[in-house]
Structure formats: structure tokens, C-alpha cells
Structure 1
Amino acid sequence: MNIHTEINQQVNEVSDIQVIVLHGLYMSGFVMKPLCHRLAKSGVNILNLTYKSRDPDSKQIFNQLDDFIADKPTVLVCHSLGGLIARAYLENNSESSQFITKVITLGTPHKGSSIAKQMHEKGLDKLLKNSVEYLLSPNNDWPFKAKLYSIAGDLPLGLMPILERGSESDGTVLLDETKLMGMAEHKVFHLSHTSLIYSRQVVSYIQDILLSE
């Protein structure tokens, strides 16, 4: 097999997969466009979903996911809060959710967000609104058929070093919050919470996951 045949086969394998991208808190699909553009070069069909991050309408989001997935193998690529939305979607257990093969999260506080908890305790729920329902969920494991690939950053640019001195974080999410029992892989990059979205290293890693079994 020559190198061109091998590359064409890899592109065909990836093009059989759909990808849904979910942004994080205080963001929209706009910030995820560079990541989507790079992933689209692999030939995947992408839905870059925008939702109200402080006031997520679960029913509307889940319906949009169902409509796009239908009955095709799909991977969820999620930043921060988006990973918790993805978990809620899998917990909802719709027929289409059974076609989610992998969930790739970037800086998602799977065990619950320490910053959100402190904001909640200080009575700052207005800044979080209904997102607090997701951000304070104390999850400990990953019980789903879909494989979880958790990507984390350890460049602490943000509030976390001030709030929790000596902690390991990406500046917003603690490193430990990104780890769950049952995840397929945990990968750490020397990046901050937001720069995880724009890193070519991270995109390359995601592309490798899309091609993996």
C-alpha cells in the first residue's frame, strides 16, 4: 500500500464520522470556529452548536443533537461546560444518543467546578444562572458506552491560582476536576483554559482520537 492510498483511507475513515462541537460558559459557537475549521479539513461533517450557556435549554439542545446525529456514528467535542452538557445528553438516553462513540472534552470540570462552587457560596448565582445545575454536579465516574477522552491544561492563567494557592489547574479548572474513573484517556497540555480551544497540538490529538478504534 503506498502513502497516498493510506492517506485516502484515513480521510475516508474520518469522513464517516460526524462531530458535534459544544462551547463553554460565557461563549458561543463563534469561538469554536477555528477548531471546527481545522477538524473540517479531515472531511468530517460538523455541527458547531450555539446555546445559551448561562441558561441552557436542555430540551432544545438535546433535540438539536438528536436531529443531527440521527443514526450515524458521532463524536462530541466539548469545551468546559460543554462536556457537562454532553454528559446530561447521554444521561437522557435518547435513541440517537446510542450512536455517540466518543466524547472529547477540553478543560471540562467533570467532578464539579470549584470556581462555580465558590461563586454559588458567595451568592453570585446571577452570574451563572441555570448553568450552576451542571457546574456543581459531583460526578465521580464515566458510566457510558461512549469513550471519554479528557483533555486538560496545566498553565494556570486565571483566578484559580489566587483562589486555591498551590493547586494544579489551567487557571479556571483544577487538573483533578478533569479526571474521572472509567475515562479512556487523560491528556495534559501546557495550556490555559481558553487556549485549549486554539491549540494546533490539541486539534492534532483530537484528529488522532477520531481515527482510533
Structure 2
Amino acid sequence: MLVHGIWNMGAWLQMLAARLRGSGFEPEIFTYASVFGGPDAAVARLRESLARSPCMVVGHSLGGLISLEALRLQPDLPVSRVVCLGSPLHGSVAARAVASRGWTAPALGRSAQLLQSGLPEWNCRAQVGMVAGRIAHGLGRLFAQFDGDSDGTVTVDETRVPGLADHCVVASSHSGLVFSPEAAAQAAHFLHHGRFAHDRLA
């Protein structure tokens, strides 16, 4: 199951889906209203979709947060592994900056709180791997100053929480993670093996 991020649609994930098909998967794309619908509605629908049959999940940015929130609320869902692509699991300083300005806050809609706060440590059954980016090209730089490496929207530190099965950093911007061949290859490797191919990282 592929889950897109905020301000995106299912079409955004078509290239990633094609690459995962080439690695032996049969991806299905989950779409939701990221701004006007918000996480509560998306999590409820995603839980229904994930309950149908055993599967694995790849979520980009907010999509990773929504996927883990679904599993946190219903840990018996038949999901063995999750890959998050640039998800601010520790909370996003860029989202907090956007939310603090009256003229930009509406852009986050009902997803504002989840993006700002992130999730607690991961202690559920599913193995979770994180692919972070380190090419600082993104809209987040217009609203916040980042400490350390970032993908231009989310810092590498914001992608870390206790309990992750593995973590890797690739040469990609935040939006670029869904188009990156390296990110897709690492995601596929984790879904197959429960770990990333650190020896292949540039």
C-alpha cells in the first residue's frame, strides 16, 4: 500500500509504484484529502483498507505518519513492514513555522497538529524503516531554519524516533523521494529483508 503526503494525489506515486512492481510487489495506492479531510478520516479509511489482507506499506511524508498512526491505533492489522519516506516522525519545525503564521496556517488544514507533533516512540509489531533525504531543496526553507542535514522540508533528525528497525539517508530532496531510484531501491530492500542496503548508499 502506498500513501502520499500533504498537497499530493495518488498520481504522485505512480513512478514509485512502477519501481516497486519491478522489485516484485503489487502496490495499491491509497488516496485521501490531506488538508480538508485530515488524519482522522484518513486513518479510519486506511485501517479498513489494511485489514483486508496481509500487506506492507510505503508512506511519503504525512503519509508515513498516517500509516503509523493507523497501526498504533490498531496494532493487530496484518502489516508486517512499513517504509517511511521523509516523514517527520519527531515533528516538523517547518510545519510549526507555517502554523504560526496566520496567512500560511490554513495550508496545513486538519493535518497541522500531526505534522507539528509527530508520533511517540515506535513500539508496535510492524517493522518500520525510514528513508530520509539530504538534498536541501524544498519549501520548508522559506519558513524555517534547519539545524543539520535536511531534505529542504524535513530535517534528518526529525525522521528519527526510538524503535525504528532501520534508518538510511539518500541524496534526495523531500518531494524527490517519491521519484528517486535510490529511495525506491532502499524501500524495496527493506520490504524484502527488514533492513536497508547500507553498502549501496552513495
Going from structure 1 to structure 2, the CA distance change for 1:40 and 1:154 (only over 3 Å counts) comes to same
1:5 corresponding residue in structure 2: none
- Aligned pair 1:106/2:85, yes or no? yes
- Partner AA of 1:112 in structure 2: G
1:40 corresponding residue in structure 2: 21
CA contact (8 A) 2:134 2:173 kept: yes
1:63 corresponding residue in structure 2: 45
CA contact (8 A) 1:160 1:169 kept: no
Listed as ranges, the matches of 1:41-190 within 5 Å are 41-55=22-36, 56=38, 58-59=40-41, 61-72=43-54, 74-93=55-74, 95=76, 97=77, 99-123=78-102, 124-161=104-141, 163-164=144-145, 167-190=148-171
How far is the alpha carbon of 1:133 from its aligned partner? 2.5
How far is the alpha carbon of 1:210 from its aligned partner? 2.0
Q: In 2, Cα distance between the equivalents of 1:113 and 1:156? A: 15
Going from structure 1 to structure 2, the CA distance change for 1:153 and 1:207 (only over 3 Å counts) comes to same
How far is the alpha carbon of 1:60 from its aligned partner? 5.5
Deviates most, 197-206 or 28-37: 197-206
CA contact (8 A) 2:56 2:82 kept: yes
Q: In 1, Cα distance between the equivalents of 2:42 and 2:169? A: 33
TM normalised by structure 1 equals 0.81
CA contact (8 A) 2:33 2:42 kept: no
CA contact (8 A) 2:134 2:169 kept: yes
Going from structure 1 to structure 2, the CA distance change for 1:115 and 1:182 (only over 3 Å counts) comes to same
Q: In 2, Cα distance between the equivalents of 1:93 and 1:166? A: 34
> Percent identical across equivalent pairs?
29
Deviates most, 161-170 or 187-196: 161-170
Match of 1:211 among 179, 182, 192: 192
How far is the alpha carbon of 1:42 from its aligned partner? 3.2
SS class of match (1:143)? coil
In the alignment of these two chains, the number of paired residues is 191
TM normalised by structure 2 equals 0.86
1:197 corresponding residue in structure 2: 178
Q: In 1, Cα distance between the equivalents of 2:85 and 2:61? A: 6
The structure whose Rg is larger is 1
How far is the alpha carbon of 1:66 from its aligned partner? 2.4
Give the gaps of 5 or more residues in structure 1.
1-19
- Partner AA of 1:47 in structure 2: E
Give the gaps of 5 or more residues in structure 2.
195-202
- Partner AA of 2:164 in structure 1: M
- Partner AA of 1:86 in structure 2: S
SS class of match (1:136)? helix
SS class of match (1:45)? coil
Going from structure 1 to structure 2, the CA distance change for 1:39 and 1:155 (only over 3 Å counts) comes to same
Q: In 1, Cα distance between the equivalents of 2:39 and 2:138? A: 28
Deviates most, 41-50 or 168-177: 41-50
- Partner AA of 1:203 in structure 2: A
